[in-house]
Structure 1
């Protein structure tokens, strides 16, 4: 039955790897990963870190010293009128001028100076509070005690993390992995449907079927595109890991999330989810003769995957929800939801085994039933998919 499997597998894999679409999509995705993992450093390049030259017009001599102690160094006192301040700002002599009357201030600048206004407001508040404490004869240590925050030490028993920082890191990594699962299955699944439909529309399928069993052809396509998917995802994960090593934020997420366990579970559920959905995409792609119709035919499968993704997003905040637990055993939802649960909560071994067993069983049944339709679908041509379904069913009888 699997005669010519090797040549079909190798031909599909080589043609896809050498295609411009593969090279361009890989390069663009790597560029996106680099930008995402280094977003903090990229944004810092565009930030205006230079402090604007500031003038304070006030009788309070302590204000400038307070602002300098809080980190705003380019500030000095001055005796200016409002017209002189406006002229100096227009000429670039000053960046910002503040007129302070008591503890009220009016700031003039060419554009918003958020750092200056924040430090000015904090400085005025500190000086006002110090004066109130002094005039009210209140012990400063009492005020300090009242303002001291209460410290809470939280410990979580779930698998997601022992504290809020670890839980946030794991949730961030799980979200990224869910996105990878969702996008990958849709991308490579539709690639299979397009590949089958293209060969069918170009009549190449007739030559292949004359020397190769249809089931062999389907399995070869699924295996070749699956190998391509693993290869491309490995590139993305490897580059992402190296790129994230230079980012403090991304490094913290990876270290707290236990990336090795995440990658192992990702591979398991990606492979099972891919095989399940790929067989559906291959069969549906064989039932139409044009690429445009293949996208319409596969829409129900895509919508099923979209529903699974949105339930998984809901499960990020509530992984113990009953709906998430139940659907994690449904094969079409399990690749995302069981992966979510094993990463965020404690899941019994038998639950994971049952979910994987149901997935494997469903994949076997789907491939067996799908092969029956695939055998007939690749041999029928026409623009009416419904008529092709009828012809296939009649042929099976």
Structure 2
């Protein structure tokens, strides 16, 4: 049975191990005589979502993800509507509960971004045979794809999380801004890595190299057996993400500090996958874990794969505390139009559990707000907003409606 993760921990931890190369050199280009193009984006669960036009026929929302090598279309029905032709069937190994999933490789695809940014007609596109990720449920938005390396390897990519836009710069024309701090970055097997220092609650500091993953909504994830000493003694067990292979289980806890260059954060929340539940899906490029968008979105950033530099400038949410869901219930989008909340999990003895909420309950309103008003990301923010905040929910269960309430409680 295909499992889903909830909005509060909706991390899309994707690693592709694909034995495939392009027959020709492909990539995106800016319009002629253009130095840069600005593209506005929307965020869902801290993830960047941009529109992509496929074969000049249909527009679909894609996640901008440094963790993927090839563009992925998660909904095969869209590929069938366009009439894409497939060159071959491949196996994708990903972190999660299943060993592998299958996809089709469509060649000679044309992709276009806003502002006239376009690929050649020989672009490759992976089409999943099933919707393994369930993006619409876990994100509460019409998202059907993921794109990454084809953009980051072609342009210098500026991401302004504060005002929600990206700028794609022609590399030869880009001049770094003085207000941004340089962080050394290396690219290995198409993925970017930076060094940081994690200090545990005993005052011990571990230096490690983590992959930057804009397609993961968590703050940090550490997945190195040699660094298990970083795991806080006070932690909770939970589903910490979802990969192409299914749910990824692990523990969550706060470490004392995380430091990147001159930037230091106190009491950040870190995810620790169960040994083997995540790392077994990684076949190329050793890594200790990932830096996700909950961490990265505290900055405005510039990715420069060409010089091996990540530029960082403090953003509006730089000093915001790191928080995790305080209700104990995990919500996903539900219904034909994905316009309702469904409870996909309830943590035992949590506020929601003690208030009588059960798995598969439909939440009609949260503090008087329905789905249309609050959306899934708004519900997530409310349920981790402030310890002691009273939450009242209107629940439908087996065609019966009732109200119940509880107070948010911080667990980590």
Q: Normalized against structure 2, the TM-score is what?
A: 0.22
Q: Normalized against structure 1, the TM-score is what?
A: 0.22
Asked which structure has the greater CA Rg, the reply is 1
**Which has a greater percent of strand?**
2
